[in-house]
Amino acid sequence: MKKVFLAAFSFILLLLISCTAKNVNQENQYKSFKPGEIWLDTDGNPINAHGGGVLFHEGTYYWYGEYKGDSTYRNPNPNVAGWECYRTEAGGVSCYSSKDLYNWKFEGKVLEPDTVNIGSDLHPSKVLERPKVIYNEKTKKFVMWLHVDSDDYWKASAGVATCDSPAGKFNYIGSMHPNGQISRDMTLYKDDDKRAYLLYSSEGNATLYISLLTDDYLQHSGRYTRNFPEKYREAPAVFKHNNKFYLISSGCTGWDPNKAEYAMADSLLGQWTALNNPCRGVDAEKTYYSQSTFALPVNGKKDTYIAMFDKWNKTDLIASRYVWLPVSFNSDSLVINWADEWSY
């Protein structure tokens, strides 16, 4: 009896040790970025946070993104017969946390889909894309903006949600046509003076709007600019370097890749100068088969920014991957070089 007990005890001990070792291993499994490769979270599952953005808050990075359903189909809606409208169930917004940007822990869905009410913006039959989160010091709320749409992309609205903590359950407030115009691809930017802006493709995607939000970040202040009219720029990603603003965007070809371009301005609501493709090297003309989503300043590292792109897999959207690349500068000019593997 004693022997059996000892054997069972040793077995359980070994199991515990190997599980702990596995966890430690998975929490530190990456020491570098490998753009375009499968990226696993600390539970060993592929990261499901597409079209996303990253918030740095009190020592932790939070990556928010589209949580894609696991089957992709061509949308049979006749309104989209003219283009390849592949879609999958909108599964809400996921959140992952990290201390080092390489290893990400799944925090769950911070914006849950509404599986009951078919009229809800959050119903899985709808489109829910490009979520971004910023923190409002005055209201102490985390504020999320995202692109919400009907399955045929005609609703073209901006949705807003808030939460008291970065990885808690966000409360969905609703959606709108900001400044009376449609809104599709978007990003959110909070400046050093705490003013925040929504940047979104509007006027049938032809023009990129930059709109100052109200102090609580929940509405539009009425101050906005129309940029790059008739240029059809999508997938905006913005950052500030040496007091200049840089805006990376893509062309408008659905899930298919195209050439990125960037623009510069002295202030967000000021005059933007459209420049060229910042990408260099093989497949630079197709943005390495990916599309911009966010530009991330690395905390505590001066002049270090990461350009985040999605490598869409249009016929299997959940299998879309991530291309994170280092940003460099040639004098003022923005340069993005391909790297098979890199660390900051």
Tell me the CA distances in angstroms from 298 to 61, 116, 246, 302, one per residue in order.
10, 40, 16, 8
Coil/strand/helix, residue 306: strand
Determine, following the binding rule CB under 6 A, whether residue 89 of this chain makes contact with ligand GAL.
Answer: no
Number of helices (H), then strands (E), in the chain: 1, 21
Q: Looking at residue 319, what DSSP letter applies?
A: G
Identify which of residues 252 and 264 has a Cβ nearer to ligand GAL in the complex: 252
Q: Quick one: which of 67, 172, 217, 255 contacts ligand GAL (CB under 6 A)?
A: 255
Identify which of residues 106 and 200 has a Cβ nearer to ligand GAL in the complex: 200
Torsion of CA 164, 165, 171, 175, to 10 degrees: 100
Determine, following the binding rule CB under 6 A, whether residue 235 of this chain makes contact with ligand GAL.
Answer: yes
- Burial class, 301, CB count within 10 angstroms (exposed 0-12 / middle 13-18 / buried 19+): exposed
Q: Of residues 130-149, which lie at the interface with ligand GAL (CB under 6 A)?
A: 130
Identify which of residues 71 and 299 has a Cβ nearer to ligand GAL in the complex: 71
Tell me the CA distances in angstroms from 13 to 7, 16, 272, one per residue in order.
10, 5, 63
Determine, following the binding rule CB under 6 A, whether residue 129 of this chain makes contact with ligand GAL.
Answer: yes
Q: Which amino acid is at 320?
A: S
As a whole number of angstroms, the distance between CA 325 and CA 344 comes to: 10
Identify which of residues 167 and 210 has a Cβ nearer to ligand GAL in the complex: 210
**Longest pairwise C-alpha distance within the chain:** 82
Q: And the tokens for 131?
A: 């979520």
Determine, following the binding rule CB under 6 A, whether residue 238 of this chain makes contact with ligand GAL.
Answer: no
Identify which of residues 167 and 260 has a Cβ nearer to ligand GAL in the complex: 260
Identify which of residues 85 and 212 has a Cβ nearer to ligand GAL in the complex: 85
Which one of 30-38, 74-82, 252-260, 268-276 is the stretch in contact with ligand GAL (CB under 6 A)? 252-260
Q: And the tokens for 31?
A: 């020491």
As a whole number of angstroms, the distance between CA 224 and CA 233 comes to: 17
Which one of 1-9, 103-111, 250-258, 297-305 is the stretch in contact with ligand GAL (CB under 6 A)? 250-258
Identify which of residues 191 and 203 has a Cβ nearer to ligand GAL in the complex: 203
Q: Are 52 and 308 in contact (CB under 8 A)?
A: yes
Coil/strand/helix, residue 23: helix
Which one of 5-13, 93-101, 251-259, 261-269 is the stretch in contact with ligand GAL (CB under 6 A)? 251-259
Q: Quick one: which of 185, 186, 212, 279 contacts ligand GAL (CB under 6 A)?
A: 185
Determine, following the binding rule CB under 6 A, whether residue 254 of this chain makes contact with ligand GAL.
Answer: yes
The phi, psi pair for 220, rounded to 5°, reads -100, 140
Determine, following the binding rule CB under 6 A, whether residue 261 of this chain makes contact with ligand GAL.
Answer: no
Determine, following the binding rule CB under 6 A, whether residue 51 of this chain makes contact with ligand GAL.
Answer: yes
Nearest to 290, CA basis, from 331, 330, 260, 246: 260
Identify which of residues 97 and 291 has a Cβ nearer to ligand GAL in the complex: 291
Determine, following the binding rule CB under 6 A, whether residue 168 of this chain makes contact with ligand GAL.
Answer: no
Q: Quick one: which of 148, 234, 236, 246 contacts ligand GAL (CB under 6 A)?
A: 234
List interacting residues with ligand GAL (CB under 6 A).
51, 129-130, 185, 234-235, 252, 254-255, 291
